[in-house]
Structure 1
């Protein structure tokens, strides 16, 4: 069902679930409204091997348990597993497979994901192919076990048709994993679109306060959940109780934050589209984006991500723009309440070979913005004054 501006309607009861799901005060002896923080690494047993619910902190913790169940609910799924980072979640999924198995990855991924699959998993005997999403079916082999895509690619914000790729995957009995970090479960639920596994870097929009590093895996498949639960415990890629406490706190405001991220990023994109020193703006929520209509079919809105190309700018001028920003901070990462700017060609994708960056249009004049929650007038004024510092041939 379509809602405002042609997008899908926002999920019903999302904010209520984020605040209340698996967090009934009556389940704690203290009746605390806020989920209590449990730091203990071990738990008393009634007898040898006879424990109430939790045995050892690596195997399970009350704060992690609450967060995992709540996050699964928000993604309209049954099972969630939290990991010490988004890449930890990715490694957990990669560890489902054995030497000789084949994994297909999109060719335009977060550089950390590309590095993990291309440089680490290959050492473990996995066969990895990086292909454009339009060519995935032709890359499937008899030993292909997994397709890995991002719902919105980093940093060029290409929209991936999840239902179409899910149909291809399931036709060939292959699992589909979707990294939905850039969109979040507030705007899109990939499980509903056919994904078998969903990954979020909770470090980004989901936590939203730039003070926790964590990842989560979501699935409806009990067998996959059981395998991943075993790997989570056996590999020890687990988050700390306090970090789980922090994210449980943060997701209570996720609906409010994402609405404001969307509002601000659309205004920023609209401003940039009119600026004479900007060559092209990439924002799936703007009609100028070539996949705008597809994006509206797959989501209920857009996050704070905007990328744009400064017209005719060499590396020096892009650096001048970024170092001239006063409100927006030049820094790695994204998704926090404060706005961040990055130069992907030097920062997040600096290790990607230049010829490959050229194919992906990750050039030195491509700027990535994570638009935060500041007053929109201050953000636009900051972009305006920084662009004035750029000297280019118009």
Structure 2
């Protein structure tokens, strides 16, 4: 395991480019594959690319706000003290990795956006508490929590097929979460991950012979609580900017909406309400508009990679769908599947398709109809087939920088810093997911 971990880490450090260049290279790869394996010519592939380029604008804004609002909230004294206190549970590097992995998994089961921010921020505080830990493995452990998000309460595929009016309702009706999220198969995989992944990441730490540590001066969150500003407002404008009453009133309005949202929607936690909650708690905890806006200015710096890279992934999705490449990959796996093996091969094909279409909802819109038709034709378990797409989408997130961007932005690292370890996590996580699909 040590030799394998070192090998992947060396290869990634040497050959994996920056996340932006990775998206560019992936664009070229899909462009060429589309020309070779489909009827689309170069001009058509460019058309597919350009047409889809802006399809993820709303999602890119959501993920940018995940990073910014998470940074805002984490920069408040009350939250920093809370994270610091929780991080004190870790005394040694193995304990640090175990604790971060466990917390990240729990947070991602609640909500993937919440888990991304909490995992990364908590890892930073644990690293400050245990400076001897390999910081890169700690951040990789925080990101590994994303493996379970589709099996949790914010899984887009199981929630979609349980919602009236979804686009496949005429074929499969409504499938309740009792048959997906709370199915024996899914519970087995989630619990197995919760128990074994923290242990595996501890062994991953022991397998690393990398002694280099990341300097905390490069991190985005201040190490010490900021001192109170001695500035005394003089003009009416300055008094308004430093008014605690303004922050209190608008903050309380936000909290009232949050309360009624959960009353009306029965504790439904989606990415928008997570961002809304982070934003208005940040306004309240920073106490004045000026302190809040100063933190916003710093936090926005972390969202640059998301803003510029997500359109390129949308363009890749456009080429995959427009050329028919995604259908071709899915249909090839279906061609040699049976009712028993279809969920397993669906999982594998979804993992491949996810590399090019990393949005869970987008992938389901593309791959879902193909796999559901196959499940109906082969008389396979429809709910398990749908969850197989979900787990395939989550599985290869470990080697797809798309979802790692918010974590890396908060942590102050590059994709090559963690990807070698994420390859090992990918290989390990295949085992419980595959067992769950084949046994239950």
Task: Identify, as 1 or 2, the structure richer in strand.
Answer: 1
TM-score if structure 2 supplies the norm length? 0.23
> What TM-score results when the alignment is normalised by the length of structure 1?
0.25
| Structure number with bigger Rg | 2
Tell me: higher relative CO, structure 1 or 2? Use CA pairs within 8 A at least 6 residues apart: 2
